């Protein structure tokens, strides 16, 4: 089994399994970094809460992050300004800048390898894209710079630079912040009724429920099976390669990302929609062989990201018809910063406090986006594909991932081991692999 560098360095504290029924004011379902931050904030506010995790905390997507903490999310601000207007674009920027400050404050007295770094989004093909993004960000009151040159070993058309962003070791952070939190592990929530969550070993009754399970698993509300798709990307860590002073990501979704951790260079790439084909680790190795021929491969891992229709996460009420049910999803490859944004918004919402950023992240916003059509076609094609290997989530045909030896769903991104055992949601059960 491939492990991330974070897993190899840190063993997280274990927590008890739920046995019997419980009552609480707020239930958080999902023990990734978003759910953990929600629990931390609720504890700080003196709220009665429970966090239920189906396996071990941080055992899902969180363990496979590249752990960049930044308000620079690709070339998003020009697009947001065009699509949503400058007011909402500034809300998004301010929410993420605040999240960065919140991490900085939490990490100040923590041994979690928190480092201030400049963040760069580069383009290998289009200088004008970068220039437009710089202008858009500056128009929102944040100082971004155009970088003519980068540290990268290949030519670019330039990059946008955000100063004083950050990176850290997420497992060291989680090990510290979960001390004293009210967490139940190995407590898989199979279903939610009104104010009740049902697991195999008991039910949890709560006045309010927050779902932070990466992909929302309740299909009858919110239409998340239409609003989200999942995207896989791959990371390799090399010793003996270049040390970078900044964090880098290609503006192209299929491009490469770079950051250093201690003496390792982490390169991300080989990405593709889950259930499709992509370059995987082979693409990264090919790059490393060309540009860093003396480097030595130390770690390989892969991650999965929920992609929203418009590049903005869904944070808020699960749906109009579920007043006491909340959700955070669709972090679009920026899970660390977005998790803090979500935790702040959701905790304010359950405490009935004003939050200035709710509007831009509302799950109720329009779904009439071009990606909706793409998602619909993908689902239709795979529902009609004749095969017995089907995803138990909504019945789409499963596709073999030859790089990872898994069965993956191209519709909504559920993943299964070779024998059908569930790896990643939204499915809540194993697949029948004959």
Class of domain 370-424: mainly beta
pTM: 0.96
Strand-pair partners of 315: 328
Residue 87: CB atoms within 10 A of its CB come to: 11
**In the structure, what pLDDT confidence band is assigned to residue 388 with cuts at 50, 70 and 90?**
confident
Residue 355: CB atoms within 10 A of its CB come to: 17
Largest CA-CA distance found in the chain, in angstroms, rounded: 61
For range 349-361, the mean pLDDT: 96
Q: What is the pLDDT of residue 430?
A: 94
- Which distant-in-sequence residues (6+ apart) come within 8 Å of 127 by Cβ? 157, 158
Distance, first Cα to last Cα, the chain: 23
Give 13's DSSP letter. P
For range 402-418, the mean pLDDT: 95
**In the structure, what pLDDT confidence band is assigned to residue 433 with cuts at 50, 70 and 90?**
confident
For range 200-216, the mean pLDDT: 96
CATH superfamily of 15-65+172-227+310-361: FAD/NAD(P)-binding domain (3.50.50.60)
Residue 286: CB atoms within 10 A of its CB come to: 13
CA separation for the pair 24, 204 (Å, rounded): 7
Q: What is the pLDDT of residue 434?
A: 75
- Residue 122: is its pLDDT beyond 70? yes
DSSP string, 312-330: S-EEEES-TT-TTEEEEE-
Share of the chain above pLDDT 90, in %: 96
Q: Is 317 left (phi over 0), alpha (psi -120 to 50) or beta?
A: beta
**In the structure, what pLDDT confidence band is assigned to residue 253 with cuts at 50, 70 and 90?**
confident
The ranges assigned to domains in the chain are 15-65+172-227+310-361, 230-303, 370-424
Whether 22 and 50 have beta carbons less than 8 Å apart is answered as yes
Same fold for the pair 15-65+172-227+310-361 and 370-424: no
For range 37-45, the mean pLDDT: 98
CA separation for the pair 387, 130 (Å, rounded): 45
Strand-pair partners of 329: 314
CA separation for the pair 422, 268 (Å, rounded): 25
For range 66-75, the mean pLDDT: 98
For range 135-145, the mean pLDDT: 98
- Residue 1: is its pLDDT beyond 70? no
């Amino acid at each position: 089994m491939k492990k991330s560098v974070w897993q190899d360095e840190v063993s997280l504290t274990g927590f008890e399994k739920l046995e019997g029924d419980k009552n609480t004011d707020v239930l958080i379902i999902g023990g990734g970094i978003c759910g953990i931050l929600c629990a931390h904030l609720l504890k700080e506010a003196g709220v009665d809460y429970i966090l239920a995790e189906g396996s071990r905390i941080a055992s899902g997507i969180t363990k496979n992050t590249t752990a960049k903490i930044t308000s620079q999310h690709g070339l998003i601000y020009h697009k947001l300004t065009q699509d949503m207007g400058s007011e909402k674009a500034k809300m998004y920027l301010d929410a993420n800048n605040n999240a960065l400050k919140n991490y900085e404050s939490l990490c100040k007295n923590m041994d979690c390898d928190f480092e201030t770094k400049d963040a760069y989004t580069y383009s290998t093909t289009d200088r004008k894209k970068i220039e437009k993004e710089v202008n858009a960000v500056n128009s929102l009151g944040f100082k971004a710079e155009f970088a003519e040159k980068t540290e990268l070993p290949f030519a670019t058309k330039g990059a946008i630079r955000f100063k004083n962003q950050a990176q850290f070791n997420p497992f060291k952070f989680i090990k510290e912040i979960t001390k004293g939190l009210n967490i139940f592990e190995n407590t898989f929530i199979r279903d939610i009724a009104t104010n009740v969550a049902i697991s195999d070993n008991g039910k949890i009754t709560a006045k309010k429920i927050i779902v932070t399970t990466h992909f929302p698993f309740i299909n009858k509300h919110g239409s998340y099976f239409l609003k989200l798709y999942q995207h896989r990307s791959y990371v390799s860590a090399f010793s003996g390669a270049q040390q970078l002073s900044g964090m880098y990501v290609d503006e192209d979704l299929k491009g490469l990302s770079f950051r250093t951790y201690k003496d390792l260079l982490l390169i991300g790439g080989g990405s593709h929609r889950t259930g499709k084909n992509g370059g995987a680790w082979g693409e990264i190795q090919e790059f490393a062989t060309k540009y860093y021929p003396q480097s030595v491969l130390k770690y390989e891992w892969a991650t999965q990201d929920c992609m929203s229709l418009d590049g903005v996460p869904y944070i808020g009420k699960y749906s109009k018809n579920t007043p006491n049910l909340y959700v955070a999803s669709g972090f679009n490859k920026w899970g660390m910063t977005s998790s803090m944004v979500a935790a702040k918004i959701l905790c304010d919402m359950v405490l009935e406090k004003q939050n200035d950023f709710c509007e831009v992240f509302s799950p109720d916003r329009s779904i009439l986006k071009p990606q909706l059509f793409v998602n619909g076609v993908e689902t239709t094609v795979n529902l009609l594909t004749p095969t017995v290997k089907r995803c138990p989530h909504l019945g789409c045909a499963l596709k073999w991932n030859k790089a990872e030896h898994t069965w993956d769903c191209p519709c909504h991104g559920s993943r299964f081991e070779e024998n059908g055992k569930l790896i990643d949601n939204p499915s809540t059960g194993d697949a029948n692999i004959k």
